[in-house]
Chains A and B, each alone.
Chain A
Amino acid sequence: MSTISTTMTEPSQWELQANHPSERVPLVLGDNDFTTVTDTVTELALRRTPPMWYVAMAISLSLLSVLLVTITYLLVTGVGVWGNNNTVSWGFPIVNFVFWVGIGHAGTLISAILFLLRQNWRTGINRFAEAMTIFAVVCAGLFPGIHVGRIWYAYWLAPYPNELAMWPQARSPLLWDVFAVSTYATVSLLFWYMGMIPDLATLRDRSTTRIKQLAYGVFALGWNGSNRHWLRFEKAYLLLAALATPLVLSVHSVVSFDFATSQVPGWHTTIFPPYFVAGAVFGGFAMVLVLSIPAREWFGLKDLITHRHIENMAKVMLGTGMIVAYAYSVEFFTAWYSQHHYEQFVFMNRPLGPYWWAFWLMVFCNVIAPQALWSTWVRKRVWIIFAIAILVNVGMWFERFVIVVTSLHRDYLPSSWAMFSPTWVDLFMLLGSFGLFFTLFLLFCRFLPMVAMAEVKTVMPQAHGDHPPTRFDYQPSPDTPEELRRGHWFT
């Protein structure tokens, strides 16, 4: 086996795997030991702000201001500024809401479900994914908040004793949404923050200025990495992971109930809960790829977020994409099999009606494009995966658009048929929500540990030196004192 060096290019990793099918490509590449991992990650948070960050932030903030301006305009003028009409009363706001909630799900999948399944490759990307979850949920939570006509009464959704002796209707899935999304946001935030505490303590100890030391010190809550701390940390982490897993599945199921519990043909389907969850994971993983591929490039994280990570994510994306494709075909089969006039019409209207282009765009992006990922040749090429991931994000947005709009615009009564076309407010709000997302994400990239250092260290061979080395483990080759110190494990 040849030595893996920091300069190793991606194809040689592939050769390595090809030559030794019984061995896995290591999760941390290069000449890394605990110190260098810490160096790499803390440097990103503690260095001087790079100029490009300001450029990126300026773009994000201008998009965010577009969002704020459109929301102000909406509040002052009313919800009629959107393209929604009496027939299609759920337009972009709900499409965007489901889109963003879906994006958020991959984060929890990576941090919780892959944790329960002992998938060590999650350690490189979970901090990213969790940050993405939080910020996507923020964007998602915004839309149900503003799509109500009287935003200032939104607190009536909370069950609190009041002078009206009135309570919210617990049979509405829109109320379940309130509970699902708020619980999801809270648990995700806790999970993210708790997992970050040891890393914040590292940043505190590495801080170069008093202000940074105090800021990280306050948020590290006095973590000193004692045995007792770690014991409780890991127990709590496991419990939170076990709690977050059913939460992921239920939250997006609840979101799907918004449609599935209605009687609208095209919405009233029992397949929606698992189908939406699969779609969420599909779109969410696509988003993680869209974020982590440039990030590993720009921030020099290629040794920590390796090609193996990217490839695994692409495989999950392909897998969930196939579930989504299966769900599409089941919907069509059921429509045909039902012998139900309205149901059959809806599924004729989707590919052949006035929104045929949205449907076929969705099919192309979600079903056809990901098929390329079956090929090893494609999976070796990160930027092709990146392009497919972007297509999937577009496709998943259009999936929600197709479900919401094409089901509503032509249903039972032909006299109520209508067309939906978005206004500039609709479009700018969608654009602006990306501004909100990327503003938060850039702040995260600038100030917080982007990779879970403490967790990555546990999957490095150095952390498993307490048993005799095996063929799969490491062979110390103390040729030079420097190599001995750095731990020249892969020989």
Chain B
Amino acid sequence: MNDRFYFPRWANYLFPAALIVTIGVLTYLPLVLTLGLSPTTRAVGYQPTQPIPFSHAVHAGKLGMDCRYCHTTVETAAFAAIPPTQTCLNCHAAIKSESPQLQWMRTSYEEGTPVSWVKVHDLPDFVYFNHSAHVNKGVACQTCHGQINEMEEVRQDQPLSMAWCLECHRAPADYLRPREQVTSMSWDALASTGKNQAALGTELAAQYHVQSQQFMTSCTTCHR
């Protein structure tokens, strides 16, 4: 077959085919990037089924309990404790003590077995997160955990990615509030203090001795 090679007629269709593939790639890449960077991909909205349908909306919302009543160690320890069954019994020994919905509580208490709650905000173990450090410097529960007082069951409100952490560590003034207000779920800088967030945040950062950006973004602050 030494005669000269000519592209066959069907080769004319290769150009539109190549065009379609190119357009496909050009739409595929942004799609993958968008999905990859979307908060949903990074577990925002994660809401596992808990062994017991405990309602924050009832306890923190309707009854207006302070966060620290159950999560006792949040101001003093790195880990914000999940309350033991005993905390439930403080009230439910007398209130609705016979309710069939609270059978789990009685079983847990009688048998001495803890409830296997499913962790919603699960950081990897190479991250050292300290709750007390944040709460004592005026970072509110609401800022990181969202509107917990309206959640029937807890879901993840923020991505908890490193970029998200660093956003605040680089500019903490945008998020700080007075220490007394950290557990409030409806605090507003302008309404409460008459100052805008930036001005108030800068003031509070100085007052609470919030560390320099260099310190707060150095590896050993979180990765120990």
Contacts and interface: CB of A to CB of B under 8 A. Distances in A.
Interface of A: 162-166, 204-210, 213, 217, 222
A164 B7 CA distance: 50
Nearest to A209: B1
B7 A222 contact: yes
B220 to A, nearest CB: 15
B2 A163 contact: no
A207 B42 contact: no
A428 to B, nearest CB: 34
B1 A163 contact: no
A205 B162 contact: no
Contacts of B37: 163
A204 B5 contact: yes
A204 B164 CA distance: 56
B159 interface: yes
B163 A217 contact: no
Contacts of B52: none
Given A163-B37, A166-B162, 16 more contacts: A162-B163, A163-B159, A163-B161, A163-B163, A163-B164, A164-B161, A165-B166, A204-B5, A205-B2, A205-B5, A206-B2, A207-B1, A210-B1, A213-B5, A217-B5, A222-B7
A210 B3 CA distance: 12
A204 B161 CA distance: 54
Q: How large is the interface on B (under 10, 10 to 19, 20 to 34, 35 or more residues)?
A: 10 to 19
Interface string B53-77: 0000000000000000000000000
Given A163-B161, A166-B162, A208 B1 contact: yes
- Interface residue SS majority, chain B: loop
Interface in B122-166: 159, 161-164, 166
B42 to A, nearest CB: 6
Contacts of B162: 163-166
A286 to B, nearest CB: 40
Contacts of A165: 162-163, 166
Nearest to B42: A163
Contact of A213 (B1, B159, B164): B1
B224 interface: no
B4 interface: yes
Nearest to B167: A165
Nearest to B166: A165
A204 B4 CA distance: 9
CB-based closest 6 A-B pairs? A165-B163, A163-B161, A164-B162, A165-B166, A163-B163, A204-B5
Contacts of A213: 1, 5
Contacts of B5: 204-205, 207, 213, 217
Contacts of B164: 163
B213 to A, nearest CB: 13
B73 to A, nearest CB: 29
A205 B42 CA distance: 55
30 contacts: A162-B163, A163-B37, A163-B42, A163-B159, A163-B161, A163-B162, A163-B163, A163-B164, A164-B161, A164-B162, A164-B163, A165-B162, A165-B163, A165-B166, A166-B162, A204-B5, A205-B2, A205-B4, A205-B5, A206-B2, A207-B1, A207-B5, A208-B1, A209-B1, A210-B1, A213-B1, A213-B5, A217-B5, A217-B7, A222-B7
Contacts of B42: 163
Contacts of B7: 217, 222
A206 B166 CA distance: 63
Nearest to B39: A163
B161 to A, nearest CB: 4
A220 B164 CA distance: 50
A164 B124 CA distance: 13
B159 to A, nearest CB: 7
Interface string B1-44: 11011010000000000000000000000000000010000100
Nearest to B14: A218
A209 B5 CA distance: 12
